[in-house]
A and B are shown apart, each in its own frame.
Chain A
Amino acid sequence: MSSENAIELRNVWKKYSKSATFHNSLREAIVEFFKGKRNGEGLKEDEFWVLKDFNLTVKKGEAIGLYGPNGTGKSTILKLIANVTYPDRGKIIVNGKVAPLIEIGAGFHPDLTGRENILMNGAILGMTPKEIKKKEESIIEFSGIREFIDMPVKKYSSGMFLRLAFSVAIHSNAEIFLFDEILAVGDESFRKKCYESIDNLKNIGKTMVIVSHDYEKLRKQTNSIVKLGFFRES
């Protein structure tokens, strides 16, 4: 692939199962284990395609918006880029370190203080303890919750949670940032700060994929928008 592409999804197919139990998945895994080959090309009962022959190219330094109704595969695309799940068919090439903004609370432990959670979350995002210590001041500064930083985060409000999570994420040294629906949360002043920092990241040449339901905001934040699910046959 050419080196100016940060993300490339080529003819990607991804299916999910509707059933709550996963006998099939385990059975398949065991069969694969012994046969050493993968099946699962076709669609079985109670399975459906979330992505069908999907293509996406994001150049380095570009910001892409994903827009569409619920259940059209926006978050799935982020998961595929983050290498958390694998496509059933097709190829995914990602050039550079990926930093997803982790859901509020996911990378945090309620019993740890804000400061300890910065270390935790930073490590999950692939930073070394040294790097985190160096950026700690700036992270706390950006979050604007300095006076609560040594308090267990279980006592935080959800807004304070978000402030900290977002601050850690944008201080990551990753090349590719994934944002899932975050732009709608937080109070007015912090939201403004977030938009500014996203612009900042864009200016220093970071690649971004943003999922949102707010079309207007997406248009301001991104270079181009991929619309999903509008022409899908039922």
Chain B
Amino acid sequence: MKFKEPLLKNLYNYRYLFIVFIWREFTIRYRQSVLGVLWAVLQPLSMMILFTFIFSVVLKYKVSGYPHVLFFYAGILPWTFFSSSINSSISSLVNHRNLITKIYFPREILPLSGVAVAFVDFCIAFTIYLLLMFLFRITFTPRFFWFFPLLLILIVFIVSLSLMFSALNVYYRDVKLLSGFLLQLWFFATPVFYSVDKVSMKWKLILFLNPLTFIVENMRRVTLEGRGIVLWQLAFELVVVSLFYVICSRIFARLERKMADVI
């Protein structure tokens, strides 16, 4: 198999190492834990219950015409994937300084194995989503399949950010310190517990500067509401995210050269 794209080429050439790293991350995470893989589901489910409680019981606010549980879970699902990817990839390079200063392998394997583990969690949480959709008798439409191209855009966006953050963190540990607080802000800027439908046009445009807004909002629309995607918006997001990816991977490649000296 031949890949022209440098990242895919590296991953393919070092696929065994990549797989072993993913396997390791996954194993050590659940070793000496009682609940094990159940944690992948517990986090999104408890967030879903909390949101449902706050909006339905405390605020008595109607966010959707279908069960709130589904509305919130649809937003939490991609968000959890995003935030846990960033969290685990950001210090992945710094944590492996002993390896980075000793032996060559494509450095992107380290942040990307963090993303891959978060993706496994995402897949487990996604089956729960399907189960919930079935339980609440959501009518299935072919538009559901828009979910997968959206997921692909989300993955490219996450990979870009992970590469950039983890590489910058080698130079400035501030990046790690910033990330906690940045993720918190980002959470509110993303329609996880609200929908942009109810936001006025002016603010909507500002919210759409965040690529996650487009992805999260549409993932909910295509799966639960049977709505389609606005194609020009999709085209716009595609351009933005691919451009972002090109910039991030070039920054990573550049910073990689001096990583062993700086880390």
A102 / chain B contacts, CB cutoff of 8 Å: 98-99, 102-103
Cα distance A17–B98 in the bound complex, in angstroms: 19
Quick one: which of A32, A109, A124 contacts B254, CB cutoff 8 A? A32
Which residue on A lies nearest to B98, using beta carbons? A106
Known: A22-B262, A25-B258, A86-B257. A106 touches B171 (CB 8 A): no
B120 / chain A contacts, CB cutoff of 8 Å: none
* Interface residue tally for chain B (C-beta within 8 Å): 30
A53 / chain B contacts, CB cutoff of 8 Å: none
B28 touching A112, Cβ below 8 Å: yes
CB contact list, B165-202 vs A, under 8 A: 168, 171-172
A120 / chain B contacts, CB cutoff of 8 Å: 20, 24
Interface string of B129-144 (1 = CB under 8 A from A): 0000000000000000
A125 touching B103, Cβ below 8 Å: yes
- Whether A149 sits at the interface, judged by CB under 8 Å, is no
A39: min CB distance to chain B, Å: 13
A124 / chain B contacts, CB cutoff of 8 Å: 17, 99, 103, 105
A70: min CB distance to chain B, Å: 16
Known: A29-B254, A106-B102, A124-B17. A111 touches B260 (CB 8 A): no
A210: min CB distance to chain B, Å: 15
Interface string of B232-263 (1 = CB under 8 A from A): 00000000000000000011001101101110
A119 touching B260, Cβ below 8 Å: no
B28 touching A84, Cβ below 8 Å: no
Known: A26-B172, A111-B28, A111-B32. A82 touches B20 (CB 8 A): no
CB contact list, B52-87 vs A, under 8 A: none
B43: min CB distance to chain A, Å: 21
- Whether A136 sits at the interface, judged by CB under 8 Å, is no
- Whether B104 sits at the interface, judged by CB under 8 Å, is yes
Which residue on B lies nearest to A85, using beta carbons? B260
- Whether A92 sits at the interface, judged by CB under 8 Å, is no
A105 touching B98, Cβ below 8 Å: yes
A123 touching B171, Cβ below 8 Å: no
Known: A26-B171, A109-B28, A129-B16. A79 touches B99 (CB 8 A): no
B20 touching A123, Cβ below 8 Å: yes
- Whether B31 sits at the interface, judged by CB under 8 Å, is yes
Quick one: which of B24, B27, B102, B251 contacts A82, CB cutoff 8 A? B102
- Whether A211 sits at the interface, judged by CB under 8 Å, is no
- Whether B100 sits at the interface, judged by CB under 8 Å, is yes
CB contact list, B1-41 vs A, under 8 A: 16-17, 19-21, 24, 27-28, 31-32
Quick one: which of B19, B171, B250, B260 contacts A84, CB cutoff 8 A? B260
B103 / chain A contacts, CB cutoff of 8 Å: 82, 84, 98, 100, 102, 107, 124-125
* Interface residue tally for chain A (C-beta within 8 Å): 34
- Whether B127 sits at the interface, judged by CB under 8 Å, is no
Cα distance A26–B255 in the bound complex, in angstroms: 8
Cα distance A22–B174 in the bound complex, in angstroms: 12
A222: min CB distance to chain B, Å: 21
B17 / chain A contacts, CB cutoff of 8 Å: 123-124, 126
- Whether A55 sits at the interface, judged by CB under 8 Å, is no
B171 touching A22, Cβ below 8 Å: yes
B254 touching A33, Cβ below 8 Å: yes
A123 touching B99, Cβ below 8 Å: no
A111 / chain B contacts, CB cutoff of 8 Å: 27-28, 31-32
A112 touching B27, Cβ below 8 Å: yes
Residues of B within 8 A of A (CB): 16-17, 19-21, 24, 27-28, 31-32, 98-105, 168, 171-172, 250-251, 254-255, 257-258, 260-262
Residues of A within 8 A of B (CB): 16-17, 22, 25-26, 29, 32-33, 79, 82-86, 98, 100, 102-103, 105-107, 109, 111-112, 116, 119-120, 123-129
Given contacts A26-B255, A29-B255, A84-B101, 17 further A-B contacts (CB under 8 A): A16-B261, A17-B261, A22-B262, A25-B258, A25-B262, A26-B171, A84-B100, A85-B258, A106-B98, A107-B98, A112-B24, A116-B24, A119-B20, A123-B17, A123-B20, A123-B21, A126-B17
Give the 3 A-B CB pairs with smallest separation, nearest first: A106-B98, A123-B20, A83-B104
Interchain residue pairs with CB less than 8 A apart (6): A26-B255, A33-B254, A79-B101, A85-B101, A98-B103, A128-B16
